[in-house]
Structure 1
Amino acid sequence: MNELDPIAAAEARLGAVLDRLGPLAIAVSGGVDSMTLAFFAHRHGAEMVHALSPAVPMAATERVRRHAVRLGWALTETRAGEFSDPDYLANPVNRCFFCKANLYDRIASLTTRTIASGANLDDLGDYRPGLLAAAERRVVHPLVEARIDKRMVRALAARAGLGDLAELPAQPCLSSRVETGIAIDADDLGFIDRVESAVRGLTGASVETRCRITHQGVVLELDPDDPTHADAAAAAMALTAETGRRWAGTRPYKRGAAFLHKT
Structure 2
Amino acid sequence: MDSNRWAPLRGVLKKIRGGAIAVSGGVDSMTLAAFAHQILGADDICMVHAISPAVPEAATARVRAHSARLGWSLSEVDAGEFDDPRYIANPVNRCFYCKSNLYRTLRSICDGVIMSGTNTDDLSDYRPGLQAAAHNDVRHPYVEADMDKASIRSLARSLKLNDISELPASPCLSSRVETGTAIQAPHLALIDNVETWLRKTISAETVRCRIRQQGMVIELDSTSLDGLSSDQRRSILDSALARMPKDVVMAVEFASYQRGSAFVRAQKTLAV
Which of 208, 211, 215 aligns to 1:210? It is: 208
TM-score of the two chains, using structure 2 as the length reference: 0.90
Q: Which residue number in structure 2 is paired with residue 147 of structure 1? A: 146
1:95-134 superposed matches below 5 A: 95-134=94-133
Instruction: Assess if the C-alpha contact under 8 Å between 1:155 and 1:166 holds in 2.
Output: yes
Q: Which residue number in structure 2 is paired with residue 223 of structure 1? A: 221
Q: Structure 1 residues 115 and 212 mapped into 2: Cα distance closer, same or farther (>3 Å)?
A: same
Q: Structure 1 residues 61 and 232 mapped into 2: Cα distance closer, same or farther (>3 Å)?
A: farther
1:242 Cα offset (Å): 4.6
Instruction: Assess if the C-alpha contact under 8 Å between 1:233 and 1:250 holds in 2.
Output: no
Instruction: Assess if the C-alpha contact under 8 Å between 1:89 and 1:184 holds in 2.
Output: yes
Task: Provide the C-alpha distance between the structure 2 equivalents of 1:174 and 1:151, rounded to a whole number of angstroms.
Answer: 23
Task: Provide the C-alpha distance between the structure 2 equivalents of 1:248 and 1:236, rounded to a whole number of angstroms.
Answer: 6
Instruction: Assess if the C-alpha contact under 8 Å between 1:195 and 1:235 holds in 2.
Output: no
1:1-263 superposed matches below 5 A: 8-43=3-38, 44=40, 45-204=44-203, 207-226=205-224, 229-230=228-229, 231=232, 234-243=235-244, 244-263=248-267
Q: Structure 1 residues 257 and 225 mapped into 2: Cα distance closer, same or farther (>3 Å)?
A: same
User: Deviation digits for residues 126-164 of structure 1, max 9, x if unmatched?
Assistant: 000000000000000001111110011111111211011
> Secondary structure in 1 aligned to 2:222?
coil
1:240 Cα offset (Å): 2.6
Among all aligned residue pairs of Structure 1 and Structure 2, give the percentage whose two residues are the same amino acid. Answer: 52
1:235 Cα offset (Å): 2.7
Please say which of residues 30-39 and 237-246 is displaced more in the overlay: 237-246
> Secondary structure in 1 aligned to 2:47?
strand
Task: Provide the C-alpha distance between the structure 2 equivalents of 1:134 and 1:174, rounded to a whole number of angstroms.
Answer: 20
1:233 Cα offset (Å): 6.7
User: Deviation digits for residues 91-142 of structure 1, max 9, x if unmatched?
Assistant: 0000000000000000111110110000011000000000000000000000
Instruction: Assess if the C-alpha contact under 8 Å between 2:142 and 2:148 holds in 1.
Output: yes
Give the number of aligned pairs.
257
Long gaps (5+) in structure 1: 2-6
TM-score of the two chains, using structure 1 as the length reference: 0.93
Q: Which residue number in structure 2 is paired with residue 4 of structure 1? A: none
Task: Provide the C-alpha distance between the structure 2 equivalents of 1:93 and 1:86, rounded to a whole number of angstroms.
Answer: 14
Task: Provide the C-alpha distance between the structure 1 equivalents of 2:111 and 2:242, rounded to a whole number of angstroms.
Answer: 48
1:232 Cα offset (Å): 6.8
In angstroms, what is the RMSD of aligned CA positions? 1.8
> Secondary structure in 1 aligned to 2:216?
strand
> Secondary structure in 1 aligned to 2:6?
helix
Instruction: Assess if the C-alpha contact under 8 Å between 1:100 and 1:133 holds in 2.
Output: yes
Long gaps (5+) in structure 2: 268-272
Task: Provide the C-alpha distance between the structure 2 equivalents of 1:233 and 1:173, rounded to a whole number of angstroms.
Answer: 28
Letter in 2 for 1:208: T
1:11 Cα offset (Å): 1.4
Task: Provide the C-alpha distance between the structure 2 equivalents of 1:215 and 1:162, rounded to a whole number of angstroms.
Answer: 39
1:10 Cα offset (Å): 4.0
> Secondary structure in 2 aligned to 1:92?
coil
Instruction: Assess if the C-alpha contact under 8 Å between 1:195 and 1:236 holds in 2.
Output: no
Q: Structure 1 residues 142 and 229 mapped into 2: Cα distance closer, same or farther (>3 Å)?
A: farther
Q: Structure 1 residues 233 and 213 mapped into 2: Cα distance closer, same or farther (>3 Å)?
A: farther
